[in-house]
Structure 1
Amino acid sequence: MKVYTLHTTQKLPISVEEAWTFLSNPANLKTITPDYMSFDILSGADRAMFPGQIIQYIVTPVFGIKTKWVTEITHVKDNTYFVDEQRFGPYALWHHKHFIKPINGGIEMEDIVHYKLPFGVLGQLFHPVLVKPKLNEIFNYRQKKLIDLFGEFK
């Protein structure tokens, strides 16, 4: 059982409160997801984030295959961090921690994702050629989109 880790950081020239207001609103996930993924929230994004919140999406990550993804927000500490975990979807495990901390001139966001692929060894074979590059592409898109929205940290 191989568990992979994706770790990213990004600095933005905004306040913790501004970052939190944007990131803790589940509806904004569509804004920072590439258009080709046809991200559509089915339910659960009608209020600010809270522990126990269930959010259902349809995404099209690869090959035009629509996938239902259900996540639960398991932990929330206002203006500091939240955790989402996949309950149903394409991964055998998806545990995503989002941290925000103040720094001089803005904030630093940190994402730590632990994930496991389905299909055992076959899934592991797809990791370096499909899954890892696709996740890197999605998180790179998010970083660029957040710069477009909030400006570049200098």
Structure 2
Amino acid sequence: MLLKDSLDDGIQLGVEKVSFTDGTVWTRADMRSHIAYVGGTSGNETITGTTGVDTIHAGPGNDTLVGLAGNDTFLFRQNFGHDIITDFVAGAGSVDVIDLTSDIFVDFASVMAAAAQVGSDTMITHDANTSLLLKNVTRTNLHQDDFHFTPA
């Protein structure tokens, strides 16, 4: 089921509930708790996950990603633009993961070579058109557990 801009309690329109043939009814809160994948488009967007476990794929625009609570995976593929994660939790055994394809970075050492401390944030730059800013994350807190490398 694809629901786009439909589960925000602050909007007037949208899906209020889903009724299944077996009598099960999901409210907006129920639907948000079952979301497994949140994806963006080629536009510049703010993409917000849920308080549960999310997989967030930004797409090629310049996006701001908000995972909220939960163990979140942020997917980045070739030409993802200049993106920002506002609430990434870094460190050994951390709950959040950045998933990169090997045509962007091949391993943790290559990520660290491209990472720079910028004030209280960490900027990871692949090239002039592709970068990732981790808000309020220090470079020294990054750990190999924070990254997964998927073959391109």
TM-score per shorter chain, which class?
under 0.3
What's the TM-score once normalised by structure 1's chain length? 0.27
**Greater fraction of residues in helix:** 1
Bigger Rg, which one: 2
**Greater fraction of residues in strand:** 1
What's the TM-score once normalised by structure 2's chain length? 0.27
